[in-house]
Structure 1
Amino acid sequence: MKVLIADAINEKGIENLKEVAEVVVNTSITPEELADTIHEYNGIIVRSRTKLTADIIKKADNLQIIARAGVGVDNIDLDAATEKGIMVVNSPESTSVTVAEHTMGLILSMARKISIADKSVKEGKWEKKQFMGVELRNKTLGVIGMGRIGSQVVNRCKAFGMDAMAYDPYLPEEVAKQMGVDLTDLDTVLKNSDFITIHVPLTPETKHSVSYEQFDLMKDTAYIVNCSRGGVIDEEALYDALVNDKIGGAALDVYEEEPPATDSKLFELDNIVLTPHIAASTKEAQRDAAIIVADEIIDLAKGNNPKNVLNMPRIDKTTYQELAPYMGLCEKLGSFISQAVNGKIKEIEIVYSGELAEIDNLEILTRTVIQGAVNPFLSSPVNAVNAALVAKERGISITEGRKDNAKGYESLIKVIAKSETDTFSAEGTHLHEARILKVNGYWVDVIPEGHMFIAKYEDVPGSIGKIGTKLGEHNVNIGIMQVGRDEKGGRAIMVLTLDKEIPKDVIKEIQALDNVYEAIGLEL
């Protein structure tokens, strides 16, 4: 096996790899050189410098594995690698402890005013009374997102004698209890926590999910930390909360714009700690990343399955070509039903009909549905390979069925999400593009993309008009409208695509309208 090290990694990873492979280190290789020589290698290790584009991957006729020594894979064309049959792996666990420790450092810096006290002493001052701090002991930690990093932060805060509560839509109650965490809703976390730490991805759902309304819920002594993604906290709202003493303080390692503008108003404040996106930057994390990806390649060389595969399992080219048009549909269906169902998902049922039902192995499509269903709510990206495992860890059962009758279409895919209190279904097909044909049993015909809105209402005169008027009042324009009903005067459903995201307060206003019994905003 011949492996190219295209970006600098820790020497320990290279040493380990040499036990099973011929290793070529060329950390200054150009895109042109890589394109000319990529066919010579069975494996390649990159960080962020080297870009593995579709054009380069097409020439990688002997490549079996691409290893990213880190978390993000924006520099790798996953679709091209999948179609070529090349596994892509990364090292997500390498930074979990590192980021958790940085989070703890920021918590302690806020609690004891370490950074501003340091600055004061270096300026020749001795202002002891100004730097009165608070203990962590007997305080409540609130965690938004209980993935690898969130759970590590909880473990460390427990050692300081803190209590912990968390908001995570997919964490099972029993798992939370084992961690010693009270699982609750977001508002309860915000209202009752003394220190709040965020560990979620930046998605349309999480963008500015901590804004003016959320700061108003917090204690005026509360501290908040963000080491996840810039944009989860609305920085204008954060500035307002800090300058008006609505909260005790904040700490950021990530920002809406990186680097922040030199005239950022946050720089004026003493009750905020700022670091330059370094939460994952330690020697140990870089060493561990190199060892982890080397071990992945070693496993492959020995005939074992790598653990952190980011793209889909290998399938033959003919089957891939048959299923490829439906993969986008499956991800959209999963995301659609997970955002629309009320409560925490307990079960996902997938039913394939028509020509798809005749294909022996539909595991790729099932995993892609799950990927779409859980990705909006998790801090670590879920992929078609690890989707089933993630669902199992979150207490979600998956069932798969098949039917001959596709109701006049070549193939149909129906996805049903069940929670303790609700059931929501969507049914779709691929007709030149992904289309949803049925929602909760009502016939509609919509393209699942962009800003969407669902309203369930009584089919009486004026209901549709009131909803449209309310959207117009808030300058939200309707692109496409589809309505379905079971019978005249009965219950009906409206599915809209909108020109912009519908604000949460507008959804609440529509929900309050006469004859409307549910309103849901979605981002696909």
Structure 2
Amino acid sequence: MRFGAEKMDNMKVLIADQINEKGIDELKDVAEVVVNTSITKEELLNVIKDFDAIIIRSRTKLTADVIAAADKLKIIARAGVGVDNVDVPAATERGIMVVNAPESTSVTVAEHTIGIILSLARKIAIADKSVKDAKWEKKKFMGLELNGKTLGVIGMGRIGSQVVTRLKAFGMDTIVYDPYITEEVASKLGVTVVDLETLLKNADVMTIHVPLTPETKHLIAKPQFELMKENAFIVNCARGGIIKEEDLYEALKTGQLRGAGLDVYETEPPENSPLFELDNVVLTPHIAASTAEAQRDAAIIVANEVKKVLKGESPKNVLNMPVLDPETFQVIKPYFKLTEKLGKFMIQTAKGNISEINITYCGELAEFQKKDILTRMIIKEVLNPILTEPVNMVNAAAVAENRGIVITEAKRCEAKGYKNLIKVDVKSDGSQMSIEGIFVGEPKIVMINGYTVDVETEGTMLIVTYRDIPGIIGSIGTKLGEHGINIAKMQVGRKELGGEAVMVLRVDQNVPANVIEELKKLENVYDAVAVDL
């Protein structure tokens, strides 16, 4: 099926998995939409080169070879949360954004988690089966109240927070294990932050809401089960593999653990699992995010993310580049233009192969946690003119690393009287250049190689290093005049009388290479370079 032909420069979006129609409707005004929800990997390899964007759920696997064949692809959108089926590093190296819809399933997964907890506490699932088998075993299904019990939440993100909010209505106290939660956030939610061992020892009900990473793989295994209360329950609606199922089975079978609920598994679907034998486990087929509302919201969210990228705007749920909260974005946004200018300046003044790019943030900028977005912008501007492969905000750091360029990011509090200041040092085969810039309404360069200047970052500039003695400035001006190059502004920076100095000339025309060479040949002129900003 095809929708919306002849859209923005013939851009095309592939819907490779089933999504809500409202998501498709959102895209019709910006692109040609092709829906093929049964596409095979072989077919995808053949056609992916024609698409600017692809939307998937969990069926389609975007492996490195598929991504390598995606010549035009700008964005991969996962209509859900997990991106286990996307080779994110491969996408990053190709400069392809990977986005998801984390907020779409928060309430849905939280409600499913609570449903499993209630089923375990009141033995609802096995009681239902008993009645349907024409039995009436009331004494067998004695349950537990949640009121007054302790809830342990492993991972206090969007979903964990929703679970806590809802289970407060059941009269539960909450302890949380999450290395990244602040005391301020914990206080607002009314939870107590503890280490994992303390949580395992004290929680009556534990629920897991963390991603599957090398650090969380088998986070809950035999040593952890041995710490838990005998009457405890554990629920996992996050990712299979966080709980070691072999050890879970032993803990449930021996009565070391009262019960468990799983919506996700180490192997999906699970086959011949010994857990199937047990009555004290509730199992669902990875459906925690499966509600009509969640699927609708996920489709709309990722469709809007795709629209933003196709229009040249910035999406908010990008997984392979920093995401800024609105408050931080407003503070840091003015410095985007400054970093762009600094990067362009550096690549035009560097000589030979670049080996290092060192970036230092001073003043208030030094305290921002997500300065990486500014660093990426500088790297992008430095590398784009010298590489045949496209460099963007997504793949800038990866491209630099692959090229053996060392990137360092530092901070210092002293900003030389300015509110904020950014210093960039570039080392290359033939030179070492250092500049410092500020933003005060417009970006300015305030220091070049240790020489104080005050230079606007617009138009064509000529930077000349020379010996500070009478007559040199005049000879430089005369040489430019011989070639019809008019000087609009001039800035001079020096450290001592008669020593080395730097002159920055704003000129009205481009300075040809032959003029640069003639300037370098003037007596007491050490170097000259033209920069077009």
TM-score over 0.5 for the pair: yes
Matched with 1:291 is 300
* Structure 1 residue 29, shift from structure 2 partner: 4.1
Aligned to 2:14: 4
Is the Cα–Cα contact under 8 Å of residues 225 and 252 in structure 1 kept in the other structure? yes
Post-superposition shift, 1:358? Answer: 13
Return the letter of the residue paired with 1:290: A
Q: How does 1:288-367 map to 2 (within 5 A)?
A: 288-312=297-321
Aligned partners of 1:202 and 1:230 also within 8 Å? yes
Q: Does 2:203 align with 1:188? A: no
Residue aligning to 1:108: 118
Superposed, 1:389-404 pairs within 5 Å as none
Go from structure 1 to structure 2 and tell me whether the alpha carbon gap of 1:324 and 1:19 turns closer, same or farther (over 3 Å shift): farther
Out of 196, 203, 221, the position equivalent to 2:231 is 221
CA deviation profile, 1:487-524 (whole Å, cap 9, x unmatched):
xxxxxxxxxxxxxxxxxxxxxxxxxxxxxxxxxxxxxx
- For residue 226 of structure 2, give the secondary structure of its aligned residue in structure 1: helix
Report the AA paired with residue 304 of structure 1. Answer: E
- Alpha-carbon distance between aligned partners in 2 of 1:326 and 1:202, rounded to the nearest angstrom: 34
Equivalent residue, structure 2, for 1:279? 288
Partner in structure 2 of residue 82 of structure 1: 92
The equivalent residue for 1:174 is 184
Change in Cα spacing, 1:216 to 1:10, as seen in structure 2 (3 Å) is: same
Which residue in the other structure is 1:246 paired with? 256
**Larger deviation, residues 304-313 vs 191-200:** 304-313
Match of 1:43 among 53, 74, 82: 53
Q: How much has 1:165 moved relative to structure 2? A: 0.6
**TM-score normalised by the chain length of structure 1:** 0.58
* 3-state secondary structure, aligned to 2:290: coil
- Separation in 1 of the partners of 2:422 and 2:253? 53
Change (3 A) 1:120 1:201: same
Task: State the Cα distance separating 1:178 from its structure 2 match.
Answer: 1.0
For 1:447-499, what per-residue CA distance to the aligned partner results, in whole angstroms no more than 9, with x for missing partners?
xxxxxxxxxxxxxxxxxxxxxxxxxxxxxxxxxxxxxxxxxxxxxxxxxxxxx
2:82 to 72, 78, 83: 72
In the superposition, relative to structure 1, how do residues 245 and 306 fare at CA in structure 2: closer, same or farther (>3 Å)?
A: same
Provide Cα deviations, 1:139-198, integer angstroms capped at 9, x if missing partner.
Answer: 110011112221111111112221111011111111111111100111211121111111
How far 1:348 sits from its partner (Å)? Answer: 11
Instruction: Confirm or deny that 1:130 pairs with 2:151.
Output: no
Alpha-carbon deviation of 1:357? 11
Q: CA RMSD in A?
A: 4.1
Q: Is the 8 A contact 1:146 1:171 kept in 2?
A: yes
Cα distance in 1, alignment partners of residues 393 and 77 from structure 2: 24
Change (3 A) 1:163 1:357: same
Offset of 1:19 from its aligned partner? 3.0
Deviation at residue 225 of structure 1 after TM alignment: 0.9
Aligned counterpart in structure 2 of residue 140 of structure 1, from 141, 150, 156: 150
Quote the offset at 1:63 in angstroms.
Answer: 3.4
Q: Who is 1:332 aligned against?
A: none
Structure 1 residues 324 and 155 mapped into 2: Cα distance closer, same or farther (>3 Å)? Answer: farther
1:244: how far off? 2.7
Q: How far apart, in 2, do the equivalents of 1:207 and 1:25 lie? A: 35
List per-residue Cα deviations over 1:376-422 (Å, max 9, x = no partner). xxxxxxxxxxxxxxxxxxxxxxx99988899xxx9xxxxxxxxxxxx
Task: Indicate conservation of the 8 Å contact 1:323/1:365, yes or no.
Answer: no
Query: CA separation in 2, counterparts of 1:258 and 1:323?
Result: 49
User: For the residues of structure 2 that align with 1:292 and 1:119, how far apart are their CA atoms?
Assistant: 39
CA distance in 1, matches of 2:248, 2:198: 19
1: CA distance, partners of 2:422 / 2:244? 41
Tell me which residue corresponds to 1:210. Answer: 220
Distance 1:92 1:324, change over 3 A: farther
* Cα 1:198–1:401 shift into 2, 3 Å: farther
Residues 223, 367 of structure 1: alpha-carbon distance in 2 compared, 3 angstrom cutoff: farther
| 1:367-382 alignment, distance < 5 Å | none
Q: 1:51 to 1:110 in 2, by over 3 A?
A: closer
How far apart in 1 are the matches of 2:204 and 2:159? 19
Aligned letter for 2:119? S
Larger radius of gyration: 2
Aligned to 2:166: 156
How far apart in 1 are the matches of 2:353 and 2:266?
Answer: 38
Contact 2:56 2:78 in 1 (8 A): yes
Whether contact under 8 Å (1:210, 1:232) holds in the other structure is yes
Shift, 1:103, TM fit: 0.7
How many residues align? The count is: 351
1:114 Cα offset (Å): 0.3
Q: Is the 8 A contact 2:152 2:207 kept in 1?
A: yes
Task: Give the CA deviation at 1:324.
Answer: 13
Within 5 Å, which residues of 2 pair with 1:90-105?
90-105=100-115
Determine the structure 2 residue equivalent to 1:388: none
Higher mean C-alpha deviation, range 145-154 or range 105-114: 145-154
- Name the counterpart of 1:16: 26
TM-score (norm. length: structure 2)? 0.57
After superposition, residues 426-441 of structure 1 pair within 5 angstroms as: none
Deviation for aligned residue 1:21: 2.9
Task: Indicate conservation of the 8 Å contact 1:141/1:196, yes or no.
Answer: yes
**Contact kept in structure 1, 2:220 and 2:244, CA below 8 Å:** yes
8 A Cα contact 1:145 1:167, kept in partner: yes
* Alignment partner, residue 118 of structure 1: 128
Of 257, 264, 278 in structure 2, the residue corresponding to residue 269 of structure 1 is 278
Report the AA paired with residue 284 of structure 1.
E
Change in 2 beyond 3 A, CA 1:326/1:83: farther
State whether residues 17 and 38 of structure 2, in contact with CA within 8 Å, keep that contact through their aligned partners in structure 1: yes
Q: What's the offset of the Cα at 1:67?
A: 1.9
Match of 2:265 among 255, 258, 266: 255
Contact 2:95 2:394 in 1 (8 A): no
**Contact kept? 1:140, 1:195, Cα under 8 Å:** yes
